[in-house]
Amino acid sequence: MDGNLELVAAGVLNGTGTPSWTINNGGFGAIVDNGTGDYTVTMNKQVDPTEAIILHNRTGVTTGGQSACQMASDTTLEVHSYAADGTAADGSIAIAIYRRITV
């Protein structure tokens, strides 16, 4: 597969308390808190979900923890945060969305 990657959005979602961006390159918009460890994030640029590459990591966790992210549409991302035991937990998640571009 030929092509390059374009960074669409990058940031750190702080899901503790009222969700907010602690870092945001301007590519992410609103955060909807759907419950413990469950967020819907809007992006300011459309991305074909079949061309999206999502990198994510639960940050600031010293005893384990996980995150999961998937494109819900071309402008929304579903984000989930888990404790070390696999239960939903609020936390901070670093996220970067790239899209494949043809050269």
* Count of domains observed in the chain: 1
pTM (2 d.p.) = 0.90
Q: Where are the alpha helices (DSSP H) in the chain?
A: none
Residue 67 binned pLDDT confidence (cut-offs 50, 70, 90)? very high
Structural domain harbouring 83: 4-101
Residue 64 binned pLDDT confidence (cut-offs 50, 70, 90)? confident
Taken in order 79, 84, 86, 91, the sign of the CA dihedral is negative
Average pLDDT over residues 4-11: 94
Measured in whole angstroms, the distance separating CA 29 from the mean position of its chain's CA atoms is: 11
